[in-house]
Amino acid sequence: MINLMPYELKKQTSAARANFILFRLVIFLGFAIGFLSLACTLTYFLLVSAKASAKMQQLKIDASTSPIQKQANTFRSDLIISKGILKRQISYSSVLTELGKIMPAGTILDSFSVNDNSFGTTIKLKVLSTTSENETKLKQNFGSSKTFTNYKFDSTSSSQDNTKYPFVINISVTANRNSNI
């Protein structure tokens, strides 16, 4: 078939066809932009709603765990207080055991008194001994002790009252509170 249309009409028909395609494209782009805008708006509102819901859930969780958290904080502070008390705790039996290890054979304590105020201060000990040489052994043993420090020899005397332990050795030592017995 031969196209006998005039050139001007051909040009107009071609332009009309292009305008119709462009019109459809503009309509399609309008729908696409509208759909994307609607999707973005819907997504925004869903995110805001989810955030508000999560915040409400967090407030509910915080409200339900608040008493538990208070109990945990109270327990934690009680543990800190207990730790401080345990650090200051003194086992008198371990002090006596250490003192027994220090005493050489042939010596006994005549009197010994210890209380909370005795630690860090000078304690006077009266040691009964079978020989006067036990004073040097006492000095060596107290010198190597971590529990007792500041050994000081006061005096040695003879006792006529006790025939088994005729010598009385008076010494002064300091008992340490924080020793690793």
Distance CA 149, CA 174 (A): 5
**Residue 17, pLDDT above cutoff 80:** yes
Going across the sheet that includes 122-129, the strands are 107-111, 122-129, 167-175, 148-158
Q: Compute the mean pLDDT over every residue in the chain, rounded to the nearest whole number.
A: 84
How wide is the angle at C-alpha 91 spanned by C-alphas 128 and 112, nearest 5°?
A: 20
**Residue, of 20 and 118, whose pLDDT is higher:** 20
**Residue 154, pLDDT above cutoff 50:** yes
How wide is the angle at C-alpha 153 spanned by C-alphas 136 and 92, nearest 5°?
A: 90
Answering whether pTM is above 0.85, one says no
Superfamily of domain 92-175 in CATH is: General secretion pathway protein M, EpsM (3.30.1360.100)
**Residue 173, pLDDT above cutoff 50:** yes
Four-point Cα dihedral 7, 13, 14, 18, nearest 10: 160
| Residues 6 or more apart in contact with residue 13 via CB below 8 angstroms | 5
User: Residue 18 — pLDDT band, cuts 50, 70, 90?
Assistant: very high
Domain boundaries, given as residue ranges, for the chain: 1-89, 92-175
